[in-house]
Structure 1
C-alpha cells in the first residue's frame, strides 16, 4: 500500500484516490470510511480524497507514539541530532518535489512554495542545534558537599494541528524541535491539503527516524477532539483562526495539556509622511498579495497619513496592474484560493466595502486570469478610505484584499492598531529613527517590522503574537519552542564521604 490508494470513498467517486494516515511507519486506512475532498484549486476539480480519522484511529496513532517514546527518549543526543542532520539534507535536496505537492493541493505559486519550505528548513537547522538549547545548569557545592543541577527532559507524546495555508512550513515549525528533544508526535494536518505531511513523514523515515516517532492522522473535528481529549497526549501545538485557537486552548488545557495556540491576525502597516513611498508601495503589494493573501502575517491594512495617502494609493495601484494571476505552475505572481467557498467569501467583501462607503480602487474579481475558468480565482483587490467600523477592516479576510485607512498622523494610527483585538504582526515605514523606536515600544503587537513588511522572525528567534493572536504564553520555534517541548527537573545530590552527618529532624538548611 502506498500513501494514496484507490478505494471506495464516502461522498466521492467509487474509485477515488485516497490519502491515508501514516501510523507506526506505514500508511494506514484505519477503521473509518469517512473521507473528504482534496481539490486542485487551479482547476477547480476534486483530485483525490483524504481519509478522516475516527477516535479509534487517533488512539492507534497515539499508542504507536507512546510505544516509540521510551526508546526515542533514551536515544543519545548525538543519534537524534544525526537524524535531524540527515533529514535536513534530504529536504533541501528534494524541495522541488515537495513544492509541486504544495502547488497542486494549495494552489500557491512554485516560488512561494519553495519559500515556504526554505523557512521550514530554518527550524530543521535549529533543531540540529538542539544540544545547545537543552543543556541544564549546575551549581557545585550549593551547600556543603551538595550539588544542585537541572535536567531538560521530553514530555512524551505531543500533538500538532496545522492549518491549510502552510502545509509544510507550519508542521516544520513544530515537529523537528519536538522530535529532536526526544518527544514522539501525532500530527493532524489540514484536510484541505494533507499530502505534504505524509511526504515529510516518509522523508524522516528515510533519514533514520524510528517507526512511531512521527505519525500523521487526517480528518476533521473528530480527530482534533480526540487529540485534545486523549490522556496520553501531553501537549498540543496549533496554528489557525482565532475562534478555533481559543477552542483548542480552552479544551486542551481543560484536559490537562500544555497548549500553544497561535490564532488569527489583522496586520497593520503604518506609512508616515517621511517614508520612501516606492519602498512602502512595493512592501504593501508583496505583503498583501503574496500567497494570495492567505497568510497570518499578510499586511491587510495600510494606515496611510493623509498627506501622502493619494500618492501611496496611486503607486500601489500601478504595481498591482502588473501582477499576474493564474496556475502556479506557469510562473504567475498569484495562484488561486484554497476552495470555492473561501473564494466566494473573500469576494463578498468587495461588495461590503462599497456598501460601507469605501472606494474600491481595484476589484480583483475583474482581473485577467491565466488558468482554467473553474479555478478558485480572486485577483488582487485594493479598497481605499475604509472606515474602521466596516467588517472589511475588522475581519480577518484571509485573501488578496488590501484596505487603506487614512489617518491624521502617528497618534491616530497607533490608537487604531492598539485597539485591534489582534496583535500578531505590524510594520512601520519611516526614515525617522525616533518614530520607529517609539513605535516598537508603544505598539501592542508581538512581531514588529521597521521598513520590513512581514516581520516573521528567523528560526533562532520565536514566532508569536499578543492579544487574540496567541493563546497560552509559549511562542513557536526558537528558544521558546525548546521550552515548550521539554520539562525541567531539578536534582539536589550529595555523595557522602566516610564521615556520616547523623540524625537531624530539623528543616534542611544550607550551611
Structure 2
C-alpha cells in the first residue's frame, strides 16, 4: 500500500483540517469478507463530533463561497491526478474491505474519477442566465449561489465511486462537504479524503465522519447542514427523506432496486446471456444496477436459460485479489445468511433451481456464495418482488413481448431496466412504456456516464434531484434573481 494511507488499525475522522480518532460511542468491527479476518475497529462519531465538523464546515464556507470559481476547481484537477496515481492502491483497499474483484474495483474508481472530471467544468455549468429588457428598462439575471455545509451518507457496495458522486460537485459549487461512509468499508473513504486534503482544499471544506445510524441521524437533524445525499436501502432512504425534509433540508435519497432484463425473441441470445450474467452477478449481486430478474419471451426461453446457466457455471469464485476471479464474497456473514434465506423462500414458493450456488466449489473461508439461478419463476414470487442484493437470478417466462413489458413494469422499484432485441420497434416501446430512471438497449447495465444524472423512480428514489450531472448543480446551489433598473440613464 502507498505510504500516504493511514495504518489499517486506525480509522480516523477528518475534522477542520486535522485527523481525529473517535474514542467514544459504539464500536464497529471491520473484517475482510474473503477471509473473515478482522481488519480494524473504530468508535462511532458522537453528536459532539458531528457538531464540531459542521461548525468547522460553516467557518470554511464563509471564505470558500467567495473564492473565485476558477480557483475552487484547481484542487479538483490535483485530486483527479492523485486518484489516478493511487487507483491501484485504492482498488486493493476496496477489495480487502468489500470483497469485489480487482477489475470491479478498478472500474468503480474510474467511474468515480469521471465525476471529478465533470465537476471541473463547474465554471460553465453554474452560469445562471441573463435576459436583457425582461420588462421595460429592466434587465434580469439568475445567479447561482452555494448554500453551506452538505453531507453524504454512502453505502458499502461502491465505497470509492459513490462518495465521488457528491464530493466534487459540492465543493466546486462553493459548499463545504462532510462524508459519512458505510461503517463496513471506512478505509476506502479515508483514503479518498486523505487525497482530497493533499490536493489542496482549505481546512474544513472536505471532512470525514465515521459511524453508523446515530451519526447519520445527528447529521440529518443538525441545523447547520443544508442538505443530505444518501444511497442505500429503500426503508432507510425513505426515513432519511422524511426526516431531512422535516428538518428543512434538501435531500436526495436513492433506495433499493429490483431491476429487470427483458429478452425479446429477436435478441442475440449468446450476447444477451453473457450480459445478463455479468449484470446479475457482478459485485456479487450487491449493486443497485444489477438485473436479478430476466423476463424472457417464451419462444427463446429454453435456449436463453441454457446459455445463462452455462455462462454462470464457469465463473471463478475466489478472493477478489486474484486476477482471474469472476466473483468475490458477500459483505458479511449476516448478509450471506439473508441471501440464503431468499433461496430457501424461492424453493418453498415452487421455484426450480437451475444452478445452485450453495453447491459451488467455494473457498473454505469467507462469506462466499456461488451464482444461483431459478427457472420458470412465478412473477409474483418473493424472489422477483423483493431486493435480495446477492448472486440470485430469477428467470420469468413471458408469453410474448406485450406480456414481457407488462411483467417488467409491475415492479415497485424503478431504478433500471435493460432490453435485448434486434428490433427498433421493441426498443421504442421499451423506452416509452417502462417506468424506470435508467434504461439500456442491448447493454446489461444501464449505468449513465457522469455528465448525465443517475435516475431512479418509484421506491428506488426519494427527492427531486438525482446524483451526477446537471442535477447536482441544481441540488448544491440556489438561484437568486437580480433585477436591475436605472432611472437616471444619463
TM over 0.5: yes
> Could you tell me how far apart the structure 1 residues matched to 2:137 and 2:24 are?
60
1:356 counterpart (349, 352, 355): 349
Match of 1:365 in 2: 358
Match of 1:424 in 2: 415
Shift of 1:494: 2.5
| Aligned partner of residue 67 in structure 1, secondary structure | helix
> Could you tell me how far apart the structure 1 residues matched to 2:96 and 2:17 are?
25
Shift of 1:468: 0.6
| Aligned partner of residue 409 in structure 2, secondary structure | helix
Matches within 5 A, 1:191-340: 191-331=183-323, 332-340=325-333
> Could you tell me how far apart the structure 2 residues matched to 1:34 and 1:429 are?
48
| Unmatched 5+ stretches in structure 2 | none
Shift of 1:142: 2.7
CA distances 1:231-290 after superposition (whole Å, capped 9, x unpaired):
010100001110100001000000000100011100000001111000100111110111
Shift of 1:145: 3.5
| Aligned partner of residue 326 in structure 1, secondary structure | coil
> Could you tell me how far apart the structure 1 residues matched to 2:117 and 2:189 are?
18
| Aligned partner of residue 325 in structure 1, secondary structure | coil
Match of 1:461 in 2: 452
| Aligned partner of residue 427 in structure 1, secondary structure | strand
Matches within 5 A, 1:5-404: 17-30=9-22, 32-331=24-323, 332-369=325-362, 371=363, 373-404=364-395
| Aligned partner of residue 175 in structure 1, secondary structure | helix
Cα 1:245–1:485 change in 2 (3 A) is same
Match of 2:440 in 1: 449
1:490 counterpart (467, 481, 484): 481
Cα 1:496–1:192 change in 2 (3 A) is same
Contact 2:295–2:408 (CA under 8 A) maintained in structure 1:
no
CA distances 1:375-405 after superposition (whole Å, capped 9, x unpaired):
0001111111111222111110001111101
Name which of structure 1's ranges 246-255 and 135-144 shifts more when overlaid on structure 2. 135-144
- Determine which structure has more spread, i.e. the larger CA radius of gyration: 1
Shift of 1:496: 4.2
- TM-score under structure 2 length normalisation: 0.97
Contact 1:5–1:20 (CA under 8 A) maintained in structure 2:
no
> Could you tell me how far apart the structure 1 residues matched to 2:107 and 2:460 are?
23
Shift of 1:348: 2.0
Matches within 5 A, 1:476-487: 476-487=467-478
| Aligned partner of residue 329 in structure 1, secondary structure | coil
| Aligned partner of residue 357 in structure 1, secondary structure | coil
CA distances 1:177-199 after superposition (whole Å, capped 9, x unpaired):
01110010111100000111111
CA distances 1:13-67 after superposition (whole Å, capped 9, x unpaired):
xxxx231211112221245243201010010121110221111111111111111
> Could you tell me how far apart the structure 2 residues matched to 1:77 and 1:196 are?
28
Name which of structure 1's ranges 171-180 and 413-422 shifts more when overlaid on structure 2. 413-422
Contact 1:3–1:27 (CA under 8 A) maintained in structure 2:
no
> Could you tell me how far apart the structure 2 residues matched to 1:416 and 1:498 are?
67
Match of 1:434 in 2: 425
Contact 1:31–1:57 (CA under 8 A) maintained in structure 2:
no
| Aligned partner of residue 354 in structure 2, secondary structure | strand
> Could you tell me how far apart the structure 2 residues matched to 1:211 and 1:51 are?
23
> Could you tell me how far apart the structure 1 residues matched to 2:480 and 2:347 are?
59
Contact 2:23–2:43 (CA under 8 A) maintained in structure 1:
no
> Could you tell me how far apart the structure 1 residues matched to 2:186 and 2:486 are?
54
- TM-score under structure 1 length normalisation: 0.93
Contact 1:52–1:218 (CA under 8 A) maintained in structure 2:
yes
Match of 1:10 in 2: none
Contact 1:50–1:194 (CA under 8 A) maintained in structure 2:
no
| Aligned partner of residue 292 in structure 2, secondary structure | strand
Deviation beyond 6 Å, 4+ runs, structure 1: none
Contact 1:268–1:303 (CA under 8 A) maintained in structure 2:
yes
Cα 1:3–1:451 change in 2 (3 A) is closer
